[in-house]
Amino acid sequence: MINIELVGKSALVTGSGGGIGKATALELAEAGADVIICDINKEAAEATAEEIFTMGRKSRAFTVDVSDAIQVQEMVKAVIADFNKIDILVNNAGITRDGLLIRMKEENWDKVLSVNLKSVYLVTKAVSRYMLKARSGRIVNIASVIGLIGNAGQANYAASKAGVIGFTKSIAREFSSRNITVNAIAPGFIRTAMTDALSDEVKSQMLESIPLGCFGEPSDVANVVHFLVSGMARYLTGQVIHVDGGMVM
């Protein structure tokens, strides 16, 4: 169903070549928005953009390393030149490089913090100048329940996602006077290519920690993004919404 509030809106979704990012891009397009696709995987980004074209929405795919300031700045300038504005920003790009701390290579610490946290700073900073001028905007940052509870073997990932939560709350305070809301979503175990590759034993252990007894789907997160960027969430900012089947209560 098209939400008329999103018709004519332009949304930028990072990491939208697959998984949660792709589901979010398609959800926003279904709701009426034009969607800019950003992903490190060129083929995946172009495929998502093509799907959005077939829905009758305007789209463009960018192959960008969102941890690189120059690439981010060039992308945002190109988006503004083509779409004239960015009404919605979803910072979704993220990676994992798991390992126990004692064995974790410094390069894996740096890479995860750079892609998962620095990118949120870079993209938000580049986009916000236009939102601040327009005195309007919706920003949603995809964090993780791991940023709230931690997980053995994921110190780098947990630190990056905890940082996203702190960043969200701080920027929400900075931008609120300009009618820009900033919220975060903390997904739990969402069914993606990464979780599908896990062994049945690991999946069973994961399911034991989820009161609803099932993994989430990318669409479960996308639906919450849709809500947060709509007028129904106009009075929500600085919040962290858990989409985790009850893992963290």
Average pLDDT score, the chain: 95
Contact between 141 and 168 under an 8 Å Cβ cutoff? The reply is yes
Does residue 236 belong to any structural domain of this protein? yes
Does residue 91 belong to any structural domain of this protein? yes
What pLDDT band is residue 3 in, cutting at 50, 70 and 90? Answer: low
pLDDT at 204: 87
Give the domain range for residue 178. 10-243
CATH code of the domain in which 176 resides: 3.40.50.720
The string of pLDDT tens digits covering residues 154-169 is 999 999 999 999 999 9
The string of pLDDT tens digits covering residues 179-223 is 999 999 999 999 987 677 777 887 888 899 999 999 999 999 999
Does residue 25 belong to any structural domain of this protein? yes
Q: Is the pLDDT of residue 70 over 80?
A: yes
b/e code 2-39 from CB counts within 10 Å (16+ = b): ebeebeebbbbbbbbbbbbbbbbbbbbbbbbbbbbbbb
pLDDT at 201: 83
pLDDT at 208: 92
pLDDT at 161: 98
Does residue 4 belong to any structural domain of this protein? no
Does residue 197 belong to any structural domain of this protein? yes
- Sheet strands (E) in 6-142: 10-14, 34-39, 59-63, 88-91, 137-142
What pLDDT band is residue 97 in, cutting at 50, 70 and 90? Answer: very high
pLDDT at 193: 74
* Residue 82, phi-psi category: left (phi > 0), alpha (psi -120 to 50), beta (remainder): alpha
Does residue 5 belong to any structural domain of this protein? no
Q: Is the pLDDT of residue 59 over 90?
A: yes
Is the full-model pTM beyond 0.75?
yes
Domain count, the chain: 1
pLDDT at 230: 96
Does residue 1 belong to any structural domain of this protein? no
157 is an active site residue: yes
Does residue 249 belong to any structural domain of this protein? no
Q: Is the pLDDT of residue 65 over 70?
A: yes
Catalytic residue among 121, 130, 157, 235: 157
Residue 244 three-state SS: coil
pLDDT at 5: 76
